[in-house]
Structure 1
Amino acid sequence: MAEHDQIFRKEALDYQAGAQGQGTVLRLSPSWTRWAFWLLLAVVGFYVAFGIFGWVTQYASGPAVVRMQGRLEVTALSAGQVTSVEVQPGQRVKEGQILARFFAGPEQASLERYEHEFELLLLQRMRDLTNEAADQSLTSLRAEMELAKFQLEQRLVRAPQAGVVSDVRIRRGQHLSEGEVVVALVQEDSPIEVIAMLPGGSRPLLAKGGKMRLELAGFQYQYQELLIDQVGDGLVGPEEVRRYLGPELADSLTVNGAVVLVRAHSPSRFFEADGKQLAYFDGMQGTVDARVKSERIILTIIPGLKTLFH
């Protein structure tokens, strides 16, 4: 057979005929695969056990505001211009003490006129004890004087109870309408209450005695543990929340959708932040996380297993 009719080249045949060593099957060293297998098995076992015995907790989160119980807002009895503010924040006041004065020029002038007329009529009556017209005039003027005194009293703002001034909302020269807040009073050593607005969907899972975690604005990662005192029976909308909080806080909190109002108390008038004892103040805001549900991790990953664990 001619050389060009062969399938393989002559050089290749000569090489194979003269080759003495043959290749062997590739062998893997079993030294590292043995411990790697057991390590992988241990890791898988750990995660399976963690999923079965570990628990994950779900929280309902929402805005919250700090309030002092027993807080009383004193309002203006009538419209007018403030002529003087008699108190300042932190000052202790007695019941009936004057907190502010409104301009009372016309009322004061009317009272002085009635008193002057009353004195003149009284002199006439004493000179003539039979003067019945003077008697009738005195009775009428006495009623006018009482009305003038009442109107003059309306120009004063007095403390309805003893307490501590927590906030003064007015300044001298300011014009106020009837019903506007003048001063806020609190009882000394008033307990601290936290009002949280949590999503309405969490209402069935919230109950008295549950735990809440408060994080005040400006004190990040400084958590205060609270116990729930009261949970609202119904859900309220943003407008109702604004009316409940009052005009001074309504615009500073953002509430979306229906929420449930949850109240909790603080065991102390102070909270700890960065190792320091700081005082709560009325109106402080923050965020609350309330624990609503806990379940095994594996049930969260595979919800179909809930029927087995139930």
Structure 2
Amino acid sequence: MPAGAIPMQAATPFFDCVRRITMQRDLVSAEHLMRREIAMMSSADRVYCLYHQPHSASLWALGDDDKMRQMPAKGLAVFAARSGSALCAERAYEYPEYNGATDDPEGDGRERMIVQPVAVFGEVLAVVVAVRRGQAPSFNAHERGMIAAFVELCAPAIKHLLLAKQAKGVERQQSGGGVFRTAALDAHSRGKQGGRALRLTPRWVRYAYISVLLLVALGVTFSALAKVRRYSGGPAIVWIEGDEVNARQPGSVARVLVAPGDAVRAGQPLVRFHAGDEEAELRKLDTEYERQLAAFLLDTGSKAARSALSATTTRRERARAKLQSLTITSPSAGLVNDVRVRIGMAVKPGERLLTVVQKGNPPTVVAFLPGRDRPQLEVGQKLSLELDGFRRQRHEAVVKEVGREVLGPSEAKRYIGGRAADTLNLSGPVVLVKAQLSKRTFESDGVTYKMHDGMRGLAEIALESKSLLQTLLLDVTKK
């Protein structure tokens, strides 16, 4: 169909699309626009454009990255390029020249196809392949004519852009891949539009300068107002004060009569030691005492009988007292706490068995703080305790006693005795600080727990507060 035979109702959008193609600056954009218009005017499912090189008789496909990819040298497109004739196939596979890799990589050969050469003065520049699925109607004469007329009008623009692309490739090869020559050619191809006035200092530098000044001002203000506290910190132990019950003599535990938390009265038995020999000795003396008493009653005037009875009575009372000493009783009324013995355990004299504390007696925190901070520590300061295993859980206490002397690690451990002294890791001189907690329970994640004697943690006391600026200046002057 000649261009002049296009119907009037289709002429305006037809020539408008041709005009837009001729205005494109690069081959990729022009090809994309041409393929889209052909697909719209012919209701094709897909449209391909393959470029022909007469000297090599090969076809090339242009990618979105503006790079050419060589196609197989066979197919209906190759036939149309070499013959310069258009071809309309009802079924592509019916033609022996058909090659799916070249003509329609997405098809299976049953599609309907128009193969239209793009030529200028008899020179075939490219081949346009319009594909419609096999179930769709065949391409009619009107659609074939519209495609032929459209391609004929677009051919000069395609040739111009193709020559420009080839020239650009030659220039790049001759310039050795230099950046400036290629950039100059690209700018020249875009036209003679003047650039903006040269600005040696970018605009963002001015805004960046103002932003830096504002940040510096904010930083100085913040450092002058923000307070930095210095803390004295060190390991700490929870100490529930009460009456310690210790072993008076060596022995083996036979029974533990109480459990932690039991309420006891003064004199109530707590722990019994094995007393097999002592009980046997007492039974023997009881038998001897009864025999001596019977002999004395038969002859009350006998001095020998009186003397023997007196000696047996003394030995009997001494054995009973020794047996009673193997039963440990409570020194006061209160609650059993920190039971450290079990049945069958061998203990030494002075070893702690358990502790009896008064009801409602709040726990004490014994903190081991650095000795250098002793001049700044005083009674009444606030102590913050963080127990091991309960991170970010702070417990406030009031300092009630500060050690007068700075102790070494071994002396400090000797002070607390068996209260988890082996678990403390002390290095350097320390000062002992005692603080009173307000209650014996604490909450963590919604669960209430009890304070137990010997629990470890980290204690801190705020010593002084200075501005961040003062702290930085002091560090600089010290250096």
Range of TM-score over shorter length: 0.7 to 0.9
2:348 and 2:476 mapped to 1: Cα distance? 64
Quote how far apart the aligned CAs of 1:56 are: 1.1
* Greater relative contact order (CA < 8 Å, ≥ 6 in sequence): 1
1:158 aligns with 2:324: no
Distance change (3 Å), C-alpha of 1:201 and 1:304: closer
Range that drifts further, 208-217 or 109-118: 109-118
Which of these residues, 265, 269, 272, is aligned with residue 94 of structure 1?
Answer: 265
Match of 1:239 in 2: 410
- What is the Cα-based RMSD across aligned positions, in Å? 2.5
The percentage of counterpart residues that share the same residue type is 37
2:412 and 2:276 mapped to 1: Cα distance? 41
Match of 2:439 in 1: 268
2:421 and 2:475 mapped to 1: Cα distance? 44
Instruction: Work out whether residues 406 and 429 of structure 2, in 8 Å CA contact, stay in contact via their aligned partners in 1.
Output: yes
Match of 2:231 in 1: 59
1:138 aligns with 2:309: yes
Which of these residues, 214, 237, 240, is aligned with residue 68 of structure 1?
Answer: 240
Number of residue-to-residue matches in the alignment: 283
**Which structure shows the higher helix fraction?**
2
Which of these residues, 197, 204, 214, is aligned with residue 385 of structure 2?
Answer: 214
Distance change (3 Å), C-alpha of 1:124 and 1:297: same
Which of these residues, 192, 206, 219, is aligned with residue 47 of structure 1?
Answer: 219
TM superposition score normalised by structure 1: 0.82
Instruction: Work out whether residues 247 and 353 of structure 2, in 8 Å CA contact, stay in contact via their aligned partners in 1.
Output: yes
Alpha-carbon deviations, 1:237-271, whole Å to 9, x = none? 11112212223511111000100111111111122
Which of these residues, 288, 297, 303, is aligned with residue 126 of structure 1?
Answer: 297
2:275 and 2:265 mapped to 1: Cα distance? 23
Alpha-carbon deviations, 1:28-67, whole Å to 9, x = none? 577x666655544333222222222332111111101111
Q: What letter corresponds to residue 331 of structure 2 in structure 1?
A: P
Which of these residues, 255, 266, 278, is aligned with residue 84 of structure 1?
Answer: 255
Match of 1:303 in 2: 474
Query: What are the equivalent positions in structure 2 for 1:280-291 lying under 5 Å apart?
Result: 280-291=451-462
Query: What are the equivalent positions in structure 2 for 1:243-258 lying under 5 Å apart?
Result: 243-258=414-429
1:143 and 1:213 mapped to 2: Cα distance? 59
Instruction: Work out whether residues 338 and 453 of structure 2, in 8 Å CA contact, stay in contact via their aligned partners in 1.
Output: no
2:271 and 2:384 mapped to 1: Cα distance? 40
Alpha-carbon deviations, 1:151-200, whole Å to 9, x = none? 11122122222222223222222222222222232222221111111111
Distance change (3 Å), C-alpha of 1:301 and 1:230: same
Could you tell me which runs of 5 or more consecutive residues in structure 1 were left unpaired when the two chains were aligned: 1-20
Could you tell me which runs of 5 or more consecutive residues in structure 2 were left unpaired when the two chains were aligned: 1-193
Match of 2:464 in 1: 293
1:104 aligns with 2:266: no
Which of these residues, 169, 175, 193, is aligned with residue 364 of structure 2?
Answer: 193
Instruction: Work out whether residues 299 and 305 of structure 1, in 8 Å CA contact, stay in contact via their aligned partners in 2.
Output: no
Alpha-carbon deviations, 1:119-164, whole Å to 9, x = none? 2222232233322222222222221112111111122122222222
2:207 and 2:198 mapped to 1: Cα distance? 24
Secondary structure of 2:230's counterpart equals strand
Quote how far apart the aligned CAs of 1:102 are: 1.6
Instruction: Work out whether residues 267 and 329 of structure 2, in 8 Å CA contact, stay in contact via their aligned partners in 1.
Output: yes
Secondary structure of 1:96's counterpart equals coil
Secondary structure of 2:292's counterpart equals helix
TM superposition score normalised by structure 2: 0.55
Query: What are the equivalent positions in structure 2 for 1:8-47 lying under 5 Å apart?
Result: 26=199, 37-47=209-219
Distance change (3 Å), C-alpha of 1:48 and 1:141: same
Match of 2:348 in 1: 177
Secondary structure of 1:172's counterpart equals coil
Quote how far apart the aligned CAs of 1:27 are: 6.6
